[in-house]
């Protein structure tokens, strides 16, 4: 059973990067707000909701416009390694 979901509603713990280079969006966004800077995390936090799944506007244009594999933590780590 999935226990950890990110603000976007995705199951972080089934991601291949979770636990290796990523601690999940809550920790990553709180610890590295300038480098992670997740638009979904910011939106959900501004609305004071646990995740997009509990938002009355879900699925909104923001979620619809992002690729399914969107993960700002993975992108941050990828760019750091290149």
Q: Which of 25, 31, 30, 27 is nearest to 12 (CA)?
A: 25
The model carries a pTM of: 0.77
The Cα 31–Cα 70 span in angstroms is: 19
Q: Domain boundaries in the chain?
A: 23-81
Beta carbons of 76 and 36 less than 8 angstroms apart: yes
The Cα 59–Cα 8 span in angstroms is: 10
pLDDT of residue 81: 59
One pLDDT digit (tens) per residue for the chain, 82 residues: 667 788 888 888 788 888 888 888 888 888 887 777 888 889 999 999 998 989 999 999 988 888 877 787 777 666 665 5
């Amino acid at each position: 059973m999935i226990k950890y979901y990110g603000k976007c509603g995705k199951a972080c713990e089934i991601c291949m990067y979770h636990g290796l280079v990523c601690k999940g969006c809550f920790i990553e966004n709180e610890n590295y707000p300038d480098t992670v800077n997740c638009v979904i995390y910011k939106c959900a936090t501004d609305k004071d909701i646990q995740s997009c799944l509990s938002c009355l506007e879900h699925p909104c244009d923001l979620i619809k416009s992002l690729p399914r594999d969107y993960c700002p933590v993975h992108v941050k780590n990828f760019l750091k390694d290149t």
